[in-house]
Amino acid sequence: MALLQIAEPGLSAAPHQHRLAVGIDLGTTNSLVASVFSGTAEVIRDEAGRALLPSVVRYRANHAEPVVGHEALAEQSANPRDTLSSIKRLMGRGLGDLGDLGDLGDVDNIGDMPYVFVDSPGMVSIATVAGVKSPVEVSADILTSLRRRAESALGGELTGAVITVPAYFDDAQRQATKDAARLAGLNVLRLLNEPTAAAVAYGLDNASEGIFAVFDLGGGTFDISILKLSRGVFEVLATNGDAALGGDDFDQRIYAWIVASAGLVAPGPHAARRLLTLARNAKEALSTAQTTAITATLADHQAVCLTLSREKFDELTADLVARTLKPTRKALRDAGLTVQDVKGVVLVGGSTRMPSVRASVAEYFRQAPLTDLDPDQVVAIGAAMQANALAGNRKGDEWLLLDVCPLSLGLETMGGLVEKIIPRNSTIPTARAQEFTTFKDGQTAMSLHVLQGERELVADCRSLARFELRGIPPMVAGAARIRVTFQIDADNLLSVSAREQSTGIEATVAVKPSYGLEDRQIARMLEDAHGRAEADMKLRMLRENQVEGRRMIDATEAALAEDGEDLLSPPERDEIARHIYALADIIETGDGDSVKILKAACDALNSATQEFAARRMDAGVKRALSGRRLEDLGLTAVTG
């Protein structure tokens, strides 16, 4: 006999048509799955009644099924190389990116991972006894475990799932998450930003209105989102954060303190794992206790017997707590708001249980943060509510969810500059179009380079895709009209199309991002953009002037080739050529300070060609009046 759930009035499903949908919070440290039971979103617990599934997978030899969760975590110190944790940090990353991740903080956690990294195409992988595993496969194993848990709890196959990702995940990381879900046999209804999911959970339960901040300090990532809630409609005004700051970093601080205080000499991978587990336990204990004891005897008979006080812990981690405030200030600034506008602060993520974090948030926002829902579960609960709505178990259009794209998207233009098409923090789904034109006379193809990032120069942004539009009819430079459309779907995945307006020829690229190949640390990209705004602006001016200079040279050379012989004397031609060479020389050797010199050279060429331009105009008018050209054309037509 099947078990029934209570439905909303008029919404009971016909037999065999229950649409089972779940929300999954695929976390760095822990993952959860939740679903809606009789109108209430609840986290699904395992047989032992535990809600959290540690995001840890232990691989075994001889094709044995991998062990996921608590069992894998318990055996982590015994099998450090084959027990993979915090794998979310590697999603969509290449080996070259790992250094970047580490030195963003002064603790090089990635470098401390006791794994054998293998650089495979696109994404870093890890060699285990069960073969080489990519972060996508490891995530898929975690998702499979959650899917099985959900299916046995709901008594049937899942229609779909909503999976949450940090707001800072770029397209490569989002795509990697989707791939992992597919590998785990899950139909992804959509990806949802974690803070947005938390807002869903809070907004609907409490029916609050106003501006809210979602402060999410998880195991490996920090996100701050500024949201506007009104009559059940959510709008994300701005997001910011630090993709490499989380509870793991606090563990590392305690770990380093243990190693230093106990005078340990180079702990091996086993000992390191053991001590990290102790560090994590100590951190958790200090959320309620004032002091905690850390005792262990390591395999090489080195002993640890320490007491850590909350004051000492706060001192060790004060800078980590402080690092959360910079992105918070930026997000508020992006939203055009001040601390006074924020009506409430929602805490998400287990790390917000730390008293020092709560105190810091309360001090900054000048109010006590909201903690009604379990900070570990709030994201999964919001995702479950969204999944339930998307699966059709809820009357539609009751609430609308607006999300934003975390980084600007744009196109490369002449001079290695980036033209932003979709600005950062635009609500999605969205589509924006802009017209571009050709640079050279008779240009028949155009190369389009899609970029992500806040900087002005192509070299400083992240390359997402390149494609070509061919078959543009030959025209003079600047006459072609090419409409480029950027479209972001609800999952924050991008497609770009270019269309030549007169002929209708079109080229499209769906951005299948090359996993993190040229990826930069997202948080750093944003910080760089702010820190170097002025230098970027100067460079942009220089590049724009260089492009203008080249355009002038091209135009002058074309005019010389056409009418130079007829309209100019040899000395006049030499004079113009001299200015062309001077300008070309400045463009080639130009640096940031030469904008003035460049402008002067452009002006010089301009005035040197003024007489020539006037003569050409006269000649053109004469030709047109005499109609000689038209006759020529007519004769050609008859004889040809």
Partner 1 sequence: MSVTLTENAAKRVQTFLAKRGGVGLRLAVKTSGCSGMAYALEFADCADKDDLCFESHGVTLLIDPKSLPYVKGTELDFVREGLNEGFKFNNPNVKNECGCGESFNV
Catalytic site positions: 25, 88, 194, 216
Scanning 6-14, 54-62, 297-305, 381-389 for contacts with partner 1 by CB under 8 A, the matching segment is 6-14
Q: How far is the CB of 485 from partner 1 (least distance, A)?
A: 44
Q: Is residue 2 involved in binding partner 1 (CB under 8 A)?
A: yes
> Which residue lies nearer to partner 1 by CB, 9 or 570?
9
User: How far apart are alpha carbons 168 and 166 in whole angstroms?
Assistant: 5
CB of 148 within 8 A of CB of 68? Answer: no
Number of residues counted as binding partner 1 (CB under 8 A): 28
Scanning 14-22, 174-182, 251-259, 400-408 for contacts with partner 1 by CB under 8 A, the matching segment is 14-22
> Which residue lies nearer to partner 1 by CB, 192 or 204?
204
Among 19, 45, 70, 573, binds partner 1 (CB under 8 A): 45
Q: Is residue 15 involved in binding partner 1 (CB under 8 A)?
A: yes
**Burial of residue 320, with CB atoms counted within 10 A of its CB: 0-12 exposed, 13-18 middle, 19 or more buried:** buried
Residue position matching structure tokens 């050409």: 616
Q: How many CA atoms lie within 13 A of 45 on its CB side?
A: 5
Backbone angles phi, psi at 492, to 5 degrees: 70, 25
Scanning 44-52, 183-191, 212-220, 278-286 for contacts with partner 1 by CB under 8 A, the matching segment is 44-52
Q: Is residue 40 involved in binding partner 1 (CB under 8 A)?
A: yes
Q: Is residue 3 involved in binding partner 1 (CB under 8 A)?
A: yes
> Which residue lies nearer to partner 1 by CB, 9 or 571?
9
Neighbours of 57 (CB within 10 A): 27
Q: How many CA atoms lie within 13 A of 123 on its CB side?
A: 25
Q: Is residue 4 involved in binding partner 1 (CB under 8 A)?
A: yes
- Which of 426, 421, 420 minimizes the C-alpha distance to 406? 426
User: How far apart are alpha carbons 36 and 387 in whole angstroms?
Assistant: 9
Q: How far is the CB of 7 from partner 1 (least distance, A)?
A: 5
User: How far apart are alpha carbons 503 and 386 in whole angstroms?
Assistant: 43
Q: Is residue 39 involved in binding partner 1 (CB under 8 A)?
A: yes
> Which residue lies nearer to partner 1 by CB, 154 or 321?
154
Q: How far is the CB of 239 from partner 1 (least distance, A)?
A: 30
Q: What letter does residue 87 receive in the DSSP assignment?
A: G
Q: Is residue 8 involved in binding partner 1 (CB under 8 A)?
A: yes
> Which residue lies nearer to partner 1 by CB, 143 or 276?
143
Which string of b and e fits 490-511 if b means at least 16 CB within 10 Å?
ebbbbbbbbbbeeeeeebebeb
Q: How far is the CB of 353 from partner 1 (least distance, A)?
A: 25
Extract the runs of DSSP E, i.e. beta strands, from 506-588: 506-510
Q: How far is the CB of 222 from partner 1 (least distance, A)?
A: 32
* Binding positions for partner 1, 129-168, rule CB under 8 A: 149, 152-155
* Binding positions for partner 1, 180-209, rule CB under 8 A: none
Torsion over CA: 442, 448, 449, 455 (sign): positive
Torsion over CA: 350, 282, 168, 466 (sign): negative
Q: Is residue 14 involved in binding partner 1 (CB under 8 A)?
A: yes
Peptide linkage before 369 cis (omega within 30 of 0)? no
> Which residue lies nearer to partner 1 by CB, 7 or 509?
7
> Which residue lies nearer to partner 1 by CB, 10 or 396?
10
**N- to C-terminal Cα separation, the chain:** 88
**Strand partners for 417:** 413, 457
Q: How far is the CB of 45 from partner 1 (least distance, A)?
A: 8
In single-letter form, the type of residue at position 162 comes to: V
Residue position matching structure tokens 């938390």: 198
Q: How far is the CB of 16 from partner 1 (least distance, A)?
A: 6
Q: Is residue 64 involved in binding partner 1 (CB under 8 A)?
A: no
Among 38, 295, 338, 607, binds partner 1 (CB under 8 A): 38
Q: How far is the CB of 141 from partner 1 (least distance, A)?
A: 19
Task: Taking each helix axis as running N to C, give the angle between helix 533-559 and helix 610-626, from 0 to 180 degrees, rounded to the nearest 10.
Answer: 50
Q: Is residue 231 involved in binding partner 1 (CB under 8 A)?
A: no
Q: Is residue 51 involved in binding partner 1 (CB under 8 A)?
A: no
> Which residue lies nearer to partner 1 by CB, 45 or 326?
45
Find all residues with CB under 8 Å of 435, minimum gap 6, and list them.
Answer: 481, 482, 483, 484, 501
Among 6, 561, 637, 638, binds partner 1 (CB under 8 A): 6
CB of 226 within 8 A of CB of 237? Answer: yes
In single-letter form, the type of residue at position 461 comes to: C
DSSP sequence for 359-415: HHHHHHHTSPPB-SS-TTTHHHHHHHHHHHHHTT-S-TTS--EEEE-SS-EEEEETT
User: How far apart are alpha carbons 408 and 422 in whole angstroms?
Assistant: 6
Q: Is residue 309 involved in binding partner 1 (CB under 8 A)?
A: no
Q: How far is the CB of 399 from partner 1 (least distance, A)?
A: 16
CB of 282 within 8 A of CB of 274? Answer: no
Q: Is residue 46 involved in binding partner 1 (CB under 8 A)?
A: yes
Q: Is residue 9 involved in binding partner 1 (CB under 8 A)?
A: yes
Q: How far is the CB of 395 from partner 1 (least distance, A)?
A: 13
Structure tokens at 612: 């020539």
CB of 30 within 8 A of CB of 52? Answer: yes
- Which of 420, 422, 419 minimizes the C-alpha distance to 405? 422
Q: How far is the CB of 391 from partner 1 (least distance, A)?
A: 17
Q: Is residue 7 involved in binding partner 1 (CB under 8 A)?
A: yes
> Which residue lies nearer to partner 1 by CB, 46 or 454?
46
DSSP sequence for 305-346: EEEEEHHHHHHHHHHHHHHTHHHHHHHHHHTT--GGGEEEEE
> Which residue lies nearer to partner 1 by CB, 155 or 336?
155
**Strand partners for 13:** none
- What dihedral angle (degrees, nearest 10) is formed by the CA atoms of 600, 604, 606, 609? -170
> Which residue lies nearer to partner 1 by CB, 9 or 640?
9
> Which residue lies nearer to partner 1 by CB, 3 or 265?
3
Q: How far is the CB of 85 from partner 1 (least distance, A)?
A: 25
Among 19, 37, 439, 557, binds partner 1 (CB under 8 A): 37
Residues within the interface to partner 1 (CB under 8 A): 1-12, 14-16, 37-40, 44-47, 149, 152-155
